[in-house]
């Protein structure tokens, strides 16, 4: 009998980090500045704390059923019919989120790189690439993340470090903002960035030491959260809140301003946008993988590979629904925020019911 392949807790942490740090890195400083003014760094930290709580819940409920995915153990905890409805909502959540991510990818390419290329071509290109990549089992899925992780993290860290010399510390003042933040959007904006942390609910069954999954999950969040916070601090420190609000992609503007060796090497944005494509790919790879797994479970397919192909035309159609970038980002924030609240609430409900009904095994460590 062939032994089932497992992944280490380090690999689990890398997959979580790679999934979380996604396409919003270009526009997140502008989004959080709009919601929280100069309090953007503090609200980024507060939103991250909310995400850590969600990750804690995701991990704890999964540790009680360490040999099953959420789509399986939810039926044990709350019954088959309620679990069917809830898992259908999980599918809808990641389906819409994935579709909006594909559209955002197309918008950036059409705005920054391929200005004469129809946006439909850009979307279809990345959609087919991601769908083909998802025709793998869960272990090989993690290997893809392991390979690309340095290309996801290091370029952004480099841009941040190089841009820090242009930071004006007065732009961070006052730290609590000039106006009262819009609390719900200011918290949900950073918290919903960690929607992909839900991936732990399908990775825990193939983790070698599930008891140590909490440390891996926290490490993955801390790495990505640190980069998000540094992006916000550097962007606001360089441009100030008012100018940041006028920039569609503040992080890209930072990359354009970098010059190395006394202007010997300029226009780092070209290399930066290539690394951003890899960054987007890993996040969409995870959300599309979650979407296909959830649908294959709902349809009771043993193999999710057929579903990855069937989803392509539907995902493509939904990605084209927003009429412009304003509608796109409005729909994206609503979908991400409501998805984050639902997934956290659903996992919390499962955890509470499992504890009360004494379902599963109490995790150690």
pLDDT tens-place string over residues 228-256: 999 999 999 999 999 999 988 898 888 88
H-assigned helices in the chain: 9-20, 28-36, 40-64, 70-78, 80-108, 119-133, 138-163, 183-191, 200-203, 213-246, 250-256, 269-298, 305-319, 325-356
pTM of the model: 0.92
**Residue 2: its pLDDT value, please?**
47
Query: Does the pLDDT value for residue 262 go beyond 90?
Result: no
Lowest mean pLDDT among 3-7, 11-15, 240-244, 336-340: 3-7
> Please, what's the b/e burial string for 310-319 (b: 16 or more CB within 10 A of its CB; e: otherwise)?
ebbeebbebb
pLDDT at position 1 is 37
Percent of the chain exceeding pLDDT 90 equals 52
Establish if 1 belongs to a structural domain: no
Structure tokens at 342: 């639902």
Sign of CA dihedral 212, 293, 321, 126: positive
In-domain check, residue 81: yes
Which has the higher per-residue pLDDT, 3 or 209? Answer: 209
- Kindly report the CATH number assigned to the domain that includes residue 302: 1.20.1740.10
Query: pLDDT digits over 290-345, tens only?
Result: 999 999 999 988 888 889 999 999 999 999 999 888 898 889 888 999 999 999 99
The span from the CA of 247 to the CA of 347, in Å, is 37
91 pLDDT tier (thresholds 50, 70, 90)? very high
Report angle CA 68, 69, 72 to the nearest 5 degrees.
80
Task: Summarize pLDDT for 65-75 with one digit per residue, the tens.
Answer: 988 999 999 99
Is residue 185 pLDDT above 50, yes or no? yes
**Does residue 225 register a pLDDT over 70?**
yes
Query: Which SS3 state, helix, strand or coil, does residue 31 take?
Result: helix
Categorize the per-residue pLDDT at 22 as very low, low, confident or very high, splitting at 50, 70 and 90. confident
Cα 18–chain centre separation: 8
Whether the pLDDT of residue 275 is over 90: the answer is: no
Nearest alpha-carbon partner for 73 in 210, 208, 209, 221: 210
- 35 in Cβ contact with 185 (< 8 Å): yes
Q: What is the per-residue pLDDT for 264?
A: 54
Does the pLDDT of residue 112 top 90, yes or no?
no
**Among 101-115, 162-176, 219-233, 240-254, which is the least confidently predicted range?**
162-176
Instruction: Supply φ then ψ for residue 265, to 5 degrees.
Output: -115, 115
pLDDT at 257: 78
Average pLDDT over residues 207-223: 90
| pLDDT (average), residues 183-209 | 87
Q: Has residue 363 been placed in a domain?
A: no
Distance separating alpha carbons of residues 181 and 39, to the nearest angstrom: 7
In a domain, 180, yes or no: yes
Q: Which domain holds residue 58?
A: 9-356
Question: What is the residue-averaged pLDDT of the chain?
Answer: 88
| Residue 4 falls inside a structural domain | no
CA 38 to chain centre: 24
**Residues sharing a CB contact under 8 Å with residue 262, sequence separation 6 or more, in sequence order:** none
The total domain count for the chain is: 1
Q: Note whether residue 364 is domain-resident.
A: no
| 264 lies in some domain | yes
User: Two tokens at 267?
Assistant: 């226009």
In a domain, residue 39? The reply is: yes
- For the chain, the residue count is 365
């Amino acid at each position: 009998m062939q032994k089932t392949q497992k992944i280490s807790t380090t690999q689990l942490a890398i997959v979580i980090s790679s999934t979380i740090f996604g396409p919003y890195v270009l526009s997140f400083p502008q989004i959080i500045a709009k919601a929280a003014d100069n309090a953007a760094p503090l609200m980024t930290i507060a939103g991250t704390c909310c995400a850590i709580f969600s990750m804690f819940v995701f991990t704890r409920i999964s540790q009680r059923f360490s040999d099953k995915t959420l789509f399986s153990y939810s039926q044990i905890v709350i019954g088959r019919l309620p679990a069917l409805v809830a898992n259908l909502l999980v599918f809808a959540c990641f389906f819409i989120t994935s579709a909006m991510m594909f559209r955002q990818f197309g918008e950036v390419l059409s705005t920054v790189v391929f200005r004469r290329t129809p946006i439909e071509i850009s979307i279809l290109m990345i959609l087919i690439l991601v769908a083909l990549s998802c025709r793998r089992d869960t272990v090989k899925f993690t290997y893809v993340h392991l390979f690309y992780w340095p290309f996801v993290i290091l370029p952004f860290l480099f841009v941040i470090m190089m841009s820090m010399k242009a930071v004006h510390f007065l732009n961070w003042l006052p730290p609590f903002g000039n106006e009262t933040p819009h609390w719900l959007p200011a918290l949900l904006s950073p918290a919903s960035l960690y929607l992909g942390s839900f991936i732990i609910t399908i990775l825990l069954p193939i983790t070698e030491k599930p008891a140590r999954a909490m440390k891996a999950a926290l490490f993955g969040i801390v790495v990505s959260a640190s980069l998000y916070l540094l992006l916000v601090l550097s962007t606001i420190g360089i441009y100030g809140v008012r100018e940041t609000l006028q920039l569609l992609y503040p992080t890209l503007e930072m990359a354009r301003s970098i010059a190395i060796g006394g202007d010997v090497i300029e226009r780092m944005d070209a290399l930066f946008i290539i690394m951003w494509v890899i960054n987007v790919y890993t996040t969409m790879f995870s959300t599309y993988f979650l979407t296909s797994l959830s649908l294959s479970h709902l349809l009771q397919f043993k193999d999710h590979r057929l579903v990855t192909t069937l989803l392509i035309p539907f995902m493509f159609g939904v990605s084209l629904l927003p009429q412009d970038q304003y509608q796109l980002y409005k729909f994206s924030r609503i979908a991400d925020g409501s998805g984050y609240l639902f997934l956290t609430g659903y996992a919390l409900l499962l955890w509470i019911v499992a504890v009360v009904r004494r379902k599963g095994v109490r995790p150690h460590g």
